[in-house]
Structure formats: C-alpha cells, structure tokens
Structure 1
C-alpha cells in the first residue's frame, strides 16, 4: 500500500468516476484503474461496484475511505512541516487586485509573516482576469480574484468571502438622494471604472449590455485614491466593493439592486508543483476558511 495509491483512491471517490478523477489528477485512467486493482488484490476485497453510470463504494470501500482520509491528511501535515523547515529565503508570488489589496491583503500578509518569518511574500497587483491567467501559466504561485457564482475559476480555488458592489457618488449628484439604485437609473452619469483587466469592470459592462445600455466611462484606473478624489469632487461616480473607500460626508454609498454579490477566491494551479512555502500557505488559508475574512462578507 503506497500513499500514491491512497491518493488515487481518494480522488476517484471524490469524483465518482475514473474520467473526472484522471482529469483532476492529470494521469491516465489506466493508471487509476491499476492502482485500485492493486489495492483490491492486496486486501482481497472489492472497493467499488462497477456500474454503468460510474463507481459506487462497497461497504469495505466506505470503511477504507474513512480510514485513509485521516491518514492522508496527517501525511500532508508532516510533509508541510518538513518543507516549512526549509522555507527561509523562499519567495511566494501572490497576485492581488487593487480593491482586495485594501480589504483582504493585510490579513493574508499577517498570516504569512506569522507562519513563515524567514520567507518573503511578493504581492503583484493586477486585475482578476490577468491574475487567473498568470496562475494558470505558472507566473504566479497563487492569486486572489473576484468572480461571480456563474463564472467560478477553472483552477483550484477556495472562496474566502462575498462582497457587495456599491455605487459611490458625490452627494451633490441627484442620484445620492436615492436609497437604492438600479443600473437603468445611472443613465449618462460619468463613471470612473477600474482597469480593463478587472473582473468588476467586466461585470459592470456585461450588466449594462444586458439591459441595452452603454456606460459613460470617462476613466479607467486602478488608482483607488484617484477614484475616491474624483467621486468626492463630483467629476464621476464609481462602482466599487463596499468598504473599499471610507464613508465620508461628501460621498454617498448606494446599493445596486440588479448587481449580485461577488465571490472573492484564492486560486492556485493544482497541476503545477508549487514551492513548499506556497503550498503550505495555500493550505493554511484554506484551513482558516471564513475566519480569515471575518467582517468582510456582505451576503
């Protein structure tokens, strides 16, 4: 019995069939079949019923899965702790969108520094669309991105929180008197949007287009300080996540009825061998779950 065989068995159980498991693990179906056959021969029991629509665990298979889950988790922990011993001098590259750098990155940095005092976290600012592509091609070890429920990333991911999109506008603008907006209410209001590589900008454009409208974009920039000043001056309004800019007397922050909440995810490429420090950091973020983003979610 080898750890690799156990991981293959666990993946087949999780995926329900060999096709999906082989795709997830990036190995051939024949290799998976062979690993399961070897386990069954070693223990002299059937682990799966072979059905026309996939695989189903036998009673023995259910017991085996229950036992190896803890074993594999412990094996991963041992490997991570051993790898952490050599984390000194390592650099983890993390893609971070502009708004997330304000809301969530300080918490990620604090977790990293506490766990890897001898390593360095290199934060590279970029929009979610670019970040996802750079994780896929291995330029980044991991990234934080924004995405909607109907466009979750194809890479491995962990949802950290959900955020509400709000409309930031000068109180001198008549729209500021509303309690809530719809996209149709915005009309020709000048807009300052984030860069074109931003998920939020893409999302806003899609929702305008779906209603047969064209946003009056006068500026694209990732400089949040500039956006805040432009909004306060009344030069333009902006769509941003709630909490990105401080609430001020000059600015109204309005919910938008027809814009759904946005998921914020940590993504990484499971098919790529990550530096030990990066792999352990990802696991720690996954383990922290919602507590890492406590107070941010607006769902």
Structure 2
C-alpha cells in the first residue's frame, strides 16, 4: 500500500467515477484502476460496486475510505508540522516534469542550494498539471514544456529547444528506418507519458491529424519504465533527443516532419515575487545549459 494508491482511491470515492478522478489527478484511467485492484488484492477486499453509470462503495469500502482519509489527513499534518522544522524559511516549491528533469536536475538545484542555502521542495508533475498548480500558487515555479496555449499569462524564460525522436528496440521492424512518419505508426503499439504531459498531447494531436487513432499500450510517468518496454521489442516510444544520446540496446529514429519543443521555467504574473524566487530565476538565466543542448 502506498499513499498514492490511497489518494487515487479517495478521489474515486469523492467523484464516484474513475474517469472524473483520473481527469482531476491528470493520470490515466488504467493507472487508477490498477491501483484500486492492487489495494483490493493486498487487503482481500471488494471496495466498489460497479453500476451502469456510477460506482459506489461496498460496506468494507466505506470503512476503508474512512481510514484512508484519516491517514492522508494525518500525513499532510505531519508534513506541515515537521517539513520545515530545521528551516525558518518556507522552501521554494519547484515543479519538474518526469522526463526532461533528468537532463538538468538535480544538478541545477544542488548548485543553487550550495550558492544560496535556500531550501527547495521538488515536486514531479507533467507540464500541464504544473501549470495549473502555478496558477493556484501551489507551486512557486515550474520547469515545463512551453508548447501550450496562453504562455503569455506567465512570466517565462526559455532554457533550451529539443526535438522528438522515436525509439525502438534493435529487433523492432522499424529499427533500420532512416525516419518515422505518423503514417507508419498506424496500429503500432506505443508508450506515452501521462496525460498531463505536453509531449503526449502533441504526439496524439499529430497522430489524429494524420487520421490515425493512437494505439497506446501504456501511459507512464517514469523514463526507466518506458525504456524497459522499448527494449522489450514490441513497443516504440517518443522521447526528446537529449534523453537518447547514448543508446546501447535501442535505436533512435528521427521523426518526419520534425517536431520540436521549447523548455524553460514559468512563474505566475501579477503576484508578489519573494526574494528566493527572484534569486532562482536569475540563477537559471545565468546557468550554462550548453553541455545538455541537443544538436538540432
């Protein structure tokens, strides 16, 4: 049992819907369904009755919900009471995307903390959810794929540009191809990152524009899981070229026509900017990203 599983379960209880809970949490429906099945298997319980248009708690599920809510509340209180016990200042809350964060972090934050001794709290979110949390002031700043609408609503700074590549195993039928087009991916099983990822929305939009319904084998948040499925030989996956610079047991294929994305930091306009956020923005603007830039 994990806190994430309890959070998913409680959200389904509140909405009486896996679909609405998935939308609220910016995760896929299978992710929530799997978490609930794992809880039921672990505790040998049936938690939900499934109706035609609505799900409801069983008697055991209702009792489990009360306990789960209590645990989550106590966890939040524990964090609130003790997370900053050694720090007088509140931490700088930084959202980082699961995939592109592997290029820069933790190097950036380690160097920033060494220079300024400012506490940092890193929270992993896809760019779309991170943007919402910046709006709600639950994040002070977020690193994000900046290819979303209304970017001018935010203060922003572009750090780098990258291009999409398609990755397959060395035994995949496309392993010898010089490029991948959307038409070639009809009926091909692919791995995509979670639905709060700008990259995922971009890929799905490109496929649908080509008249192709995406055959998504799995939505995932972890790069290592994506690569393990790619190495398995059946599925392909879209990555950024900066993450596929030294492939050993898979093949990197350019995408045609080329898809590029800009990455950087966003923070809310029209609110008071604390000194620690100002220092972090200046640090990022002066940070040398040259070693991490892909060759476009």
TM bin (shorter chain): 0.5 to 0.7
Deviation readout 1:261-290 (Å, 9 max, x if unpaired): 1000100113121332122111221244xx
Equivalences for residues 77-226 of structure 1 within 5 A = 89-117=89-117, 119-148=118-147, 152=151, 154-226=153-225
Equivalent pair of 1:247/1:253 in contact (CA under 8 Å): no
Equivalent pair of 2:148/2:198 in contact (CA under 8 Å): no
- Report the TM-score, using the length of structure 1 for normalisation: 0.65
State the partner residue of 2:271.
Answer: 272
Structure 1 residue 148: Cα displacement = 2.9
State the partner residue of 1:22.
Answer: none
Structure 1 residue 293: Cα displacement = 4.8
Structure 1 residue 170: Cα displacement = 1.0
Structure 2 CA distance for partners of 1:251 and 1:297, relative to 1, 3 Å: closer
Query: Does the residue aligned with 1:278 lie in a helix, a strand or coil?
Result: helix
State the partner residue of 2:250.
Answer: 251
- Segments of structure 1 that go 5 or more residues without pairing to the other structure are 1-86
Query: Does the residue aligned with 2:238 lie in a helix, a strand or coil?
Result: strand
- Report the TM-score, using the length of structure 2 for normalisation: 0.66
CA RMSD of aligned residues (A): 2.1
State the partner residue of 2:7.
Answer: none
Equivalent pair of 2:193/2:221 in contact (CA under 8 Å): yes
State the partner residue of 2:289.
Answer: 292
- Segments of structure 2 that go 5 or more residues without pairing to the other structure are 1-86
Structure 1 residue 110: Cα displacement = 3.1
Query: Does the residue aligned with 1:158 lie in a helix, a strand or coil?
Result: strand
153-162 vs 196-205, greater mean Cα deviation: 153-162
What is the rounded CA distance, in whole Å, between the counterparts of 1:294 and 1:271 in structure 2? 34
State the partner residue of 1:233.
Answer: 232
Deviation readout 1:62-90 (Å, 9 max, x if unpaired): xxxxxxxxxxxxxxxxxxxxxxxxx9644
What is the rounded CA distance, in whole Å, between the counterparts of 1:220 and 1:139 in structure 2? 25
Bigger Cα Rg: 1
Equivalent pair of 1:141/1:278 in contact (CA under 8 Å): yes
What is the rounded CA distance, in whole Å, between the counterparts of 1:141 and 1:89 in structure 2? 14
Deviation readout 1:150-187 (Å, 9 max, x if unpaired): 77453110000001111011111111101111111122
Aligned pair count reads: 210
Deviation readout 1:28-63 (Å, 9 max, x if unpaired): xxxxxxxxxxxxxxxxxxxxxxxxxxxxxxxxxxxx
